[in-house]
Amino acid sequence: MRKQLRSALGIAVATVVGLTGCKSLEVANPNAPNFGTAFSDPGALTGLVVGGFRNWINTRESHDGSLVLHTMADSYTASWNNFNIRFYSSQGAECPQRCGWDNTPTSTFRFEIETLWYGYNAPLSQAYDVLNAIRNLGAVIEDEDETKKWEALAVMLQGMSLSGLALNFDRAFVFDETDDLSTIDKIKQLEFADRAVVRDAAIEKFNSAVTLLQAGPQFTTPSALTGVVNGPTYTSAQLIKIIRTMQAELLAHYPRNAAENAAVNWDQVSTFAAQGMSSGTPHGFEFYQDRTILISGDKDWGNQSTTVQIDTRLAKLITTNHQDPWPAPDGNPPPISPDARVGDGSWGPEDDILFSGTTAATANAGTDFAYHPFIFFQAARGLYHFGELSHIRYSYAASPGYGLPGEDGTGVVPLYSPAVNDLLWAEALLRKPAQNKAQAAQLINNTRVGRGHLTPLTGAESVADMLTAVQYEQEIEMLGLGAMPFYNRRRIDGLWPMSPRQMPVPARDLAQIQVEFYSFGGPGNPAGLAPGTGGLTARPMNVRDKWKELFARAKTEARRSNRH
């Protein structure tokens, strides 16, 4: 389907939305801003880039996006319906196996689709405005070197945004400053691009950003890019390594099923990862969570020990004595595991932290998981939601009162870790035609031995056994990092039957051009991949409607901290 449409948040209003914490910018007509006036202040341009990075961070780590996808991957579990967790992770309730995306314009279950669609289109639009000003209108930010710095960051932001769209949606818009979007009629000439085209465009933008970073002046990013306060900073060289890891992730996590996974260019994944964040001096990509402007939804709720638990699918994998499904009526006992990240399940300075039956930490306490025998979920919503293990690796990022005493829910949290790069690199070395099992073993052992204290691999193991070891490490090391667990399970056919494998364009946008709604997953689309149509019609929304809904949604999200 190639239809013309302008995402209401993707281009028209992102110019204003992205200026959080920056100098004011008045745009009389948000559909056709006067760039010569609007961007005469360099602070407006840098503000767009800063706002774009923050929008991307909040989208990638969102409650509605990554947290829900975690539960659909059976990595986290919860019976609450905040953010529609229960609806999209239930079995045999509203749907026989799993529900498909409810992509109708008035549905209360549509927000997960819209969160990721508008959330990734917004920074793409912000990058467009900045690069249009610099490359087409001759805008200068202080001097030539400073301008090149912000130009490189804007191109990197283009790659990040397109990557997010390619990983989640079946199609999206691909546009940049070479497109003339100065009028509504010209904007309407935009056409949907297939997800593979979006993926390739993201790779191209990432490569362009690397070229700019290598050729331009060396710099260190402003802390505002990754935090309102205390934001981590990165050098140009570190940004290049971050980009290479993002490219490896995009190629490896793009497949919607095992057949597509087998067709991945694993040589290219290996090449990208070899230049990624774990090469040379390892470093991560992190931001400062202040809980007002920047927040990690998956780490916030995912580490609330009485709110979200580890699904028994994963608990069975990382212990030797937990069962899947949950064994009624007595449940699972304290864990037994050779993995130091699990340990004996003890946690905290004293017994019964959060009144959930925990045992004070012993010398064998795990670093990532704890045992909570008191389950707060409702049995009527399905015993399959039950589980006794919780994720505590990022407990400091959980809402105040849900972590350890003294933890206030703020701090530096990771978007990517060096381990993510190691494991993508190791997998590529095992899957590409010219395998390198010895090097793959070393990369796997960095966490397998370094954090898990498990028996090291030697490289003499079979490829199948080594891939199993990679997947085991990915289950633990990618937990709580965006929607990686979902992408990882999706590409090996590890999702529950009828689970949607990707998202459709939101019905709100389809309604604007009177296109038939479609979706993925559920009883009518059990493979979760080919689009199914609903044959519905709806009144098109105008820009004013979109603005009202956007700000109403923002206010609602600010208050959504209570379970229900």
Count CB neighbours of 463 within 10 A: 12
pLDDT one-digit tens code per residue, 337-385: 999 999 999 999 999 999 999 999 999 999 999 999 999 999 999 999 9
Q: What is the mean pLDDT of the chain?
A: 89
Query: Considering the chain, what percentage of its residues have pLDDT values greater than 70?
Result: 87
What confidence tier does 314 reach under pLDDT thresholds 50, 70, 90? very high
CA distance 408 to 402: 9
C-alpha separations of 393 from 177, 283, 287, 390, 414 in Å: 41, 18, 16, 9, 11
CA distance 544 to 8: 10
What is the predicted pLDDT for the residue at 33? 46
Between these two residues, 544 and 295, which has the higher pLDDT value? 295
Amino acid in position 261: N
Count of positions (residues) in the chain: 564
Domain boundaries 8-234+498-558, corresponding CATH code? 1.25.40
C-alpha separations of 363 from 333, 344, 348, 507 in Å: 19, 9, 12, 53
CA distance 86 to 50: 34
Lowest-confidence pick of 144-153, 313-322, 418-427, 520-529: 520-529
Is 26's pLDDT higher than 90?
A: no
Task: Look at residue 107 and give its three-state secondary structure.
Answer: coil
What confidence tier does 541 reach under pLDDT thresholds 50, 70, 90? very low
What confidence tier does 186 reach under pLDDT thresholds 50, 70, 90? confident
Q: Are 19 and 1 a contacting pair, CB within 8 Å?
A: no
Between these two residues, 435 and 533, which has the higher pLDDT value? 435
pTM for this model (two decimals): 0.90
- Helix ranges restricted to H, 334-462: 418-431, 437-448
CA distance 164 to 199: 9
pLDDT one-digit tens code per residue, 110-164: 999 999 999 999 999 999 999 999 999 999 999 999 999 999 999 999 999 999 9
Amino acid in position 184: I
